[in-house]
C-alpha cells in the first residue's frame, strides 16, 4: 500500500478537471480508460464557524440552517459582479454584503461573514481547496494544476474572478473551459461522432447554449449564447416567494427576515421541485418548532410558474442558431446538461425548438466535470487526438467619442483572437491616454459591461497627434483579455496602469494568497504526516495489545528484541515531519511482527476450532 503511494508521488503531476458549479462542485481526472470522478459532490457552500474557522462543502451546507448569516451559497452568481448588479438576489441571500464605497457601484463586492470580510473569489477558493484536498486524498499526491469550467456566457470579469479563486486556492489554473464545451467533449469522446451538436446547459444559476461542429477529433464551437443569471435558483426563488406569502397569511406574520426559517423553507421547496420531475404533485413541507406549513403543488401549477423562465432560455437558443449560420434542421443532436434539465417542461421545450429528442443519458451533474478532465488530459498530453476550438461569447470594444462602443473583436470569434488599434494624443503636451474597454453587443457604452480602464501614461509631451501607441487586445484561450501597448516611435513596450472595473488587481490577489493561505503549500504535506501518524498509532496500539498475548511470550528472544527495536524506531520517526520515514518504519514494524501476527492468528483459529468442537 505505502509503496504504491510513493510511486505515485514520482509520476507526472496530475491535472484535475473541476466543475465549479452554482449549487454543487465536482473534481475529476483523466485515467487511461477515460475520465473519472474523484470523490463525491461538494455542495458549493462556505461557512465561517463561531471560532473563525472557514469550512466548505456538505458540512457548510448544514450551517445554512443553523447559522445562515455566516454561510454563503450560490456565490458563483456574485463572481465578477458589482453591488449594483445583484440587488435583487441579495434580498434573498441570508448573508450580508458590505455596502459599496463612495466611488459608486463599480467595485468588487464584499461579503460579511461573522467577523470575516471576503470577496466572492475568496469564498470560491474555499470550495476549490476542498475539491483539491479531496482529489489529493484519492490520488495520494499533491494537486497543483487544474482546468476549471465556467459558463460559456461568463464575461471577462467573471472569468478573471474564477481564475483568481484558483490562484488563491493554490491551484495553477491551466485553462478555463466553457461548461457546454466541456460537456460536448465528454459526450463526443467517442471519436466517430461527427456533425453539429447543440448543448443546452441549464444549471443552478446560469444558462448556456452552444452549437459545435464535431469533426475528426476537433470540437469547434460555432456560436454560443446564454444568460449568466438564469437557472434553478430562480425557480427556487419563485416557489420560495409563494411559500413566504402563504405563511404570512396563514401565520399572520412576515417570516422573510428569519434567515434560518427561510433556509429551511428553501430546502423544502427544492425537495418539492425535484420531486415534481417524477411525480404529478409534491408537497412543500416545513416544520418550524411547533408550527407547520404545508402546501401541495401540482405539475400543472409548477409548469405555469416556471414557463417564463423556460421561455427565457429559448431566445438565446434562436440567436445562437442564427449566429452559427445554420438552420435548426442541420443540427444532428442536442445534449442536455445541468440539473435543471431534469424538469420535463424544460425537456419538452428543447425538443420542440430543436425538433428532436434531446440526449439525456449522460448524468447532467457529472458530464461537465468529466469534460474538464478530458481537457486536462489534452493539456497534459495524455489525450492527443482531441482539440477544442472555443469562441468568445461577447464582443469586445472600446469607448469612443459620444459614449459609443466601437467593436474590435466580435462575439463568436474563435479564441485566441486579437486586434490592434492605434492611439494618439488629442492636445499638445498630453502625457497620457485613457482607454476604456467594454464587453457587450449594444451600441452605447452605458449598455455594455465595463471591463477595465487602461491608462497609457508617461507619454513624452509632443504636438497633438504625433504620439503613436499601438495597443493590442488579445482574448486568450481562457476567454480573458490581455492588453499590451507598444510605442511605435521607439519600438518599446509602453507601460500602463490597469484598473479592473469589477475585478481584483493583481496585487490584491497576491495579498489574498499571502493573507489567507500562508500555509497552503505546507498543507498537503501536513495532511500526509497526519495520516501517517494515524496509521502509526493504529499499529503501535495493536502491537501493544499483542504483547499481552501468550503467543508473544512464546516468541524467540531475538524476535522480541527486533519488535522492540522497531517500535522505538517508529516512535522516533513519529515526531519527525517526514511522512515517508514514518511509513517506512510502519512497514518495518509490520515485518518484525509478522511471526507474532501469524502465531496469534493460529492460536485464534485453533481456539475457534476447539470451540466448535465443544459446542458440538
Partner 1 sequence: MRFYDALGLEPKLALDSDDLKKRFYDRSRQWHPDRFSRGTSEEKKRSEEMTSMLNDAFRTLRDPVTRAEYFLRESGLELSKDAPPELLEEVFELNMALEELRGGDESARGQLVSAQERFTGMLADADSGLGGLFTSYDGKPDAAVLEQIRATLNRRKYVSNLVRDVEKELNVHSAN
Which residues of the chain form contacts with partner 1 (CB under 8 A)? 174-175, 215-216, 218, 375, 378-381, 387-389, 413-419, 474, 476-477
Q: Which is nearer to partner 1, 177 or 320 (CB)?
A: 177
Name the minimum Å distance from CB 313 to partner 1. 20
Q: Which is nearer to partner 1, 214 or 398 (CB)?
A: 214
Name the minimum Å distance from CB 160 to partner 1. 17
Phi-psi region of 395 (alpha: psi -120 to 50; beta: other; left: phi over 0): beta
Q: Render the burial of 154-174: b for 16+ CB within 10 Å, e for the rest.
A: bbbbbbbbbbbbbbbbbbebb
Decide if 268 contacts 377 (C-beta within 8 A). no
- Active-site residue numbers? 19, 76, 179, 201
Q: Which is nearer to partner 1, 65 or 474 (CB)?
A: 474
Q: Which is nearer to partner 1, 284 or 378 (CB)?
A: 378
Q: Which is nearer to partner 1, 455 or 476 (CB)?
A: 476
Q: Which of 232, 179, 240 is nearest to 342 (CA)?
A: 232
What are phi and psi for residue 272, nearest 5 degrees? Answer: -65, -45
Name the minimum Å distance from CB 569 to partner 1. 40
Interior CA angle at 329 toward 326 and 335, to 5°?
90
Interior CA angle at 336 toward 331 and 337, to 5°?
135
DSSP secondary structure code for residue 74 in this structure: -
Q: Which is nearer to partner 1, 335 or 408 (CB)?
A: 408
Beta bridge partners of 47: 55, 71
Residue 25 grid coordinates: 462542485
Q: Which of 488, 500, 495, 580 is nearest to 533 (CA)?
A: 580
What are phi and psi for residue 543, nearest 5 degrees? Answer: -70, -45
Q: Which residues, 6 or more positions from 68, have their beta carbon under 8 angstroms from its beta carbon?
A: 94, 95, 259, 260, 262, 263
What residue has cell string 498509532? 537
d(CA 160, CA 140): 30
Name the minimum Å distance from CB 429 to partner 1. 32
Pairing of strands 387-389, 218-227: parallel
The count of other CB atoms within 10 Å of the CB of residue 201 is 31
Q: Which is nearer to partner 1, 48 or 174 (CB)?
A: 174
What are phi and psi for residue 441, nearest 5 degrees? Answer: -110, -10
Amino acid at each position: 500500500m505505502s509503496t504504491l503511494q510513493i510511486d505515485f508521488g514520482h509520476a507526472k503531476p496530475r491535472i484535475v478537471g473541476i466543475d465549479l458549479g452554482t449549487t454543487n462542485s465536482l473534481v475529476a481526472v483523466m485515467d487511461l480508460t477515460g475520465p473519472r470522478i474523484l470523490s463525491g459532490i461538494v455542495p458549493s457552500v462556505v461557512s465561517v464557524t463561531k471560532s473563525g474557522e472557514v469550512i466548505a462543502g456538505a458540512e457548510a451546507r448544514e450551517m445554512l440552517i443553523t447559522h445562515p448569516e455566516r454561510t454563503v451559497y450560490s456565490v458563483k452568481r456574485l463572481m465578477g459582479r458589482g453591488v449594483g448588479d445583484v440587488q435583487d438576489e441579495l434580498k434573498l441571500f441570508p448573508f450580508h454584503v458590505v455596502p459599496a464605497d463612495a466611488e459608486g457601484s463599480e467595485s468588487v463586492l464584499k461579503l460579511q461573514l461573522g467577523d470575516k470580510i471576503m470577496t466572492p473569489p475568496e469564498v470560491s477558493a474555499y470550495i476549490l481547496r476542498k475539491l483539491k484536498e479531496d482529489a489529493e486524498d484519492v490520488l495520494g499526491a499533491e494537486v497543483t494544476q487544474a482546468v476549471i469550467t465556467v459558463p460559456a456566457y461568463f464575461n471577462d470579469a467573471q472569468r478573471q474572478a474564477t481564475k483568481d479563486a484558483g490562484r488563491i486556492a493554490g491551484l495553477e489554473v491551466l485553462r478555463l473551459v466553457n461548461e457546454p464545451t466541456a460537456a460536448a467533449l465528454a459526450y463526443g469522446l467517442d471519436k466517430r461522432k461527427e456533425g453539429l451538436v447543440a448543448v443546452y446547459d441549464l444549471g443552478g444559476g446560469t444558462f448556456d447554449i452552444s452549437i459545435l461542429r464535431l469533426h475528426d477529433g476537433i470540437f469547434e464551437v460555432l456560436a454560443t449564447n446564454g444568460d449568466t443569471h438564469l437557472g434553478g435558483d430562480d425557480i427556487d426563488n419563485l416557489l420560495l416567494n409563494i411559500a413566504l406569502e402563504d405563511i404570512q397569511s396563514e401565520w399572520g406574520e412576515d417570516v422573510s427576515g428569519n434567515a434560518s426559517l427561510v433556509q429551511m423553507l428553501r430546502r423544502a421547496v427544492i425537495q418539492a421541485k425535484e420531486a415534481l420531475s417524477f411525480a404529478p404533485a409534491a408537497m412543500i413541507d416545513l416544520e418550524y418548532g411547533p408550527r407547520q406549513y404545508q402546501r401541495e403543488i401540482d405539475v400543472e401549477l409548477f409548469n405555469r410558474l416556471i414557463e417564463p423562465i423556460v421561455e427565457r432560455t429559448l431566445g438565446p437558443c434562436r440567436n445562437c442558431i442564427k449566429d452559427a449560420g445554420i438552420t435548426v434542421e442541420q443540427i444532428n443532436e442536442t445534449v442536455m446538461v445541468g440539473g435543471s434539465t431534469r424538469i420535463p417542461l424544460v425537456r419538452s421545450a428543447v425538443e420542440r425548438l430543436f425538433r428532436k429528442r434531446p440526449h439525456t443519458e449522460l448524468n447532467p451533474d457529472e458530464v461537465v466535470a468529466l469534460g474538464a478532465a478530458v481537457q486536462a488530459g489534452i493539456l497534459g498530453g495524455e489525450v492527443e487526438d482531441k482539440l477544442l476550438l472555443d469562441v468568445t461569447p461577447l464582443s469586445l470594444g472600446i469607448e469612443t467619442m459620444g459614449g459609443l462602443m466601437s467593436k474590435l473583436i466580435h462575439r463568436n470569434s474563435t479564441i485566441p483572437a486579437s486586434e490592434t488599434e492605434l492611439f494618439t494624443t488629442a492636445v499638445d503636451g498630453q502625457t497620457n491616454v485613457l482607454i476604456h474597454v467594454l464587453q457587450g453587443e449594444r451600441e452605447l457604452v452605458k449598455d455594455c459591461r465595463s471591463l477595465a480602464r487602461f491608462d497609457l501614461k508617461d507619454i513624452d509631451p509632443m504636438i497633438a497627434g504625433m504620439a503613436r501607441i499601438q495597443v493590442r487586445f488579445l482574448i486568450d484561450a481562457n476567454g480573458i483579455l490581455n492588453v499590451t501597448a507598444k510605442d511605435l516611435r521607439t519600438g518599446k513596450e509602453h507601460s500602463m496602469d490597469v484598473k479592473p472595473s469589477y475585478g481584483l488587481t493583481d496585487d490584491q490577489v497576491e495579498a489574498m494568497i499571502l493573507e489567507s493561505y500562508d500555509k497552503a503549500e505546507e498543507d498537503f504535506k501536513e495532511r500526509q504526516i497526519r495520516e501517517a501518524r494515524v496509521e502509526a498509532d493504529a499499529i503501535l496500539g495493536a502491537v501493544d495489545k499483542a504483547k499481552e498475548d501468550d503467543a508473544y511470550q512464546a516468541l524467540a528472544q531475538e524476535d522480541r528484541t527486533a519488535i522492540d527495536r522497531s517500535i522505538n524506531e517508529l516512535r522516533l520517526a513519529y515526531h519527525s515531519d517526514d511522512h515517508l520515514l514514518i511509513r517506512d518504519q510502519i512497514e518495518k514494524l509490520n515485518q518484525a511482527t509478522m511471526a507474532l501476527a501469524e502465531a496469534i492468528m493460529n492460536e485464534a483459529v485453533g481456539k475457534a476450532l476447539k470451540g466448535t468442537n465443544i459446542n458440538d
